[in-house]
Amino acid sequence: SPYESATTTTAMRIIDAAVRKGHEVNVFAYEGAVSLTMKEQKGHANPVKGTTLEEQKHPTTANFVAGLMATGKVDWINCGMCVDERGALDWIEGPRRGGPGDLVKWANESDNTLIMGTR
């Protein structure tokens, strides 16, 4: 995985699969995951494969999240304390700022809750 951990790729795939099956998905991003929605992410070449930026077509997490949110089936909240701690302030359109109370509310209102640790 080109991301901070394979957990990111796994989470995105689970969210995508749930949306494709018609489910509504709430995402509460915490710790480093609040950076997934930052606007200024850049793709990159792959020196291991010897591919250029254009050949690699590396998707950023911000683009992936934007695509998920465009379905109208995903609501995304970034933990405000985590955002402030990391300076992760400039997001794509869609995500909202919230707190742990939002996670508890969503868990209480949802049919199912899956929590994926950041480590």
Interval 79-105 mean pLDDT: 97
What string of DSSP letters covers 78-117?
A: EEHHHHHHHT---BPSS-EEE-HHHHHHHHHHSS------
Topology (CATH) of 6-109 = Hypothetical Protein Ychn; Chain: A, (3.40.1260)
**9, containing H or E segment:** helix 6-20
Beta-strand (E) ranges in 10-72? 25-29
**Could you write out the DSSP letters of every residue in 58-70?**
PPPHHHHHHHHHT
**Dihedral over alpha carbons 96, 60, 118, 25 (to 10 degrees):** 50
The C-alpha R_g of the chain, in whole angstroms, comes to 15
The domain spans of the chain are 6-109
Q: How confident is the model at residue 26 (pLDDT cuts 50, 70, 90)?
A: very high
Residue 73's pLDDT is what? 97
pTM of structure: 0.87
CA distance 112 to 117: 16
> Average pLDDT in the 56-62 region?
86
